[in-house]
Amino acid sequence: MKHARHSRLAAAGAAFAAPELEVVIEVPRGSFLKRGATGRLDFISPLPCPFNYGSVPIYLGLEGDLLDALVLGPRLPFGARVRVRAWGAITLTDRGMQDDKLVCSDRPITASERRNLLRFFHFYARCKGLLNLWRRRPGRNACEGWCGADRALARARPRGDTWQGPMVEF
């Protein structure tokens, strides 16, 4: 009984601490088309995206592109703008560049969801490494693990009015 009360209090505290952000959906859940922040088609995936994938239009990630965000829950349409809470982030290294991906939802992330997301991104990093090899784009690819959303947001920088797209081709 005491443990259940503590879990409810911890979840309430996490909800208060999780920042709320606007995310623009670039790849709806179940889609095979991978688009970048500018809307350009990057590639057609052999596997459907297991979640809604997009970006936070007011922040740039460390690689110079809009800060990535994934939104758990039902499929959202391409271009949808949703306000959700960021409960954490997955940190990837893509061609040697750090690339945070905020994990967003309308409710706290469960331990099982977190484990599954980490499994997916460990697999994704290997696949992206093979794609980069095929594209002749050198550099290390890896899933570095989970961090707090506040940490990923602290590494991001505000998007200026002059931003016209990523400086590095993806």
For the chain, percent of residues with pLDDT exceeding 70: 87
Those residues with Cβ within 8 angstroms of residue 141's Cβ, 6 or more apart along the chain or in another chain:
92, 93, 94, 95, 125, 126, 128, 129, 132
pLDDT single digits (tens) 89-135? 999 988 878 899 999 999 999 999 999 999 999 998 998 888 888 88
Pick the CATH number of 18-158 from 3.90.80.10, 3.60.70.12, 3.40.1390.10, 3.10.450.50: 3.90.80.10
Instruction: Sketch the domain layout of the chain as residue ranges.
Output: 18-158
